[in-house]
Amino acid sequence: MPTFEISINIYIFLLILGGAALAGYARRSRQIAKKNRRIAELEREMIQAHAELLETQKDYCALESKVKDINSPVIAMKNSKNDDSPQKPIHRPENIRTDRATGTD
């Protein structure tokens, strides 16, 4: 059986091992830095969204307090006080049945 003699210098082996460890450490630290930047970006986005939500809530509360001060819960479409004419009822023909279910004859 043939034998192969492999001689490795221990110093070269340690140098290769150290270089591989440094390369792995550098790669992993770049990955962690990239993830941290992404996390910081998402946190800024969330803070901005929450600030917009709080601003909208503040506007809503201000509007609600204005409406609460009004005596009538109905907001008038027209501001004229002289428009007191009664509304006419809708004219319904006599031959239309209203007591049946929809889609049946």
Q: What is the pLDDT of residues 40-79, one digit of tens each?
A: 999 999 999 999 999 999 999 988 888 776 666 566 666 5
Select from 75, 80, 79, 53 the least CA-distant residue to 64: 75
- Give domain limits for the chain: 8-68
Select from 31, 33, 54, 35 the least CA-distant residue to 43: 35
- The pLDDT, as a whole number, for residue 54 is 96
- The pLDDT, as a whole number, for residue 25 is 97
Q: How far apart are CA 26 and CA 32, in angstroms?
A: 10
- The pLDDT, as a whole number, for residue 58 is 94
Q: How far apart are CA 48 and CA 51, in angstroms?
A: 5
pLDDT tens for 10-23 read: 999 999 999 999 99
The two tokens of residue 49 are: 């969204």
- The pLDDT, as a whole number, for residue 64 is 86
**Residue 54 burial (C-beta neighbours within 10 Å; 0-12, 13-18, 19+):** exposed
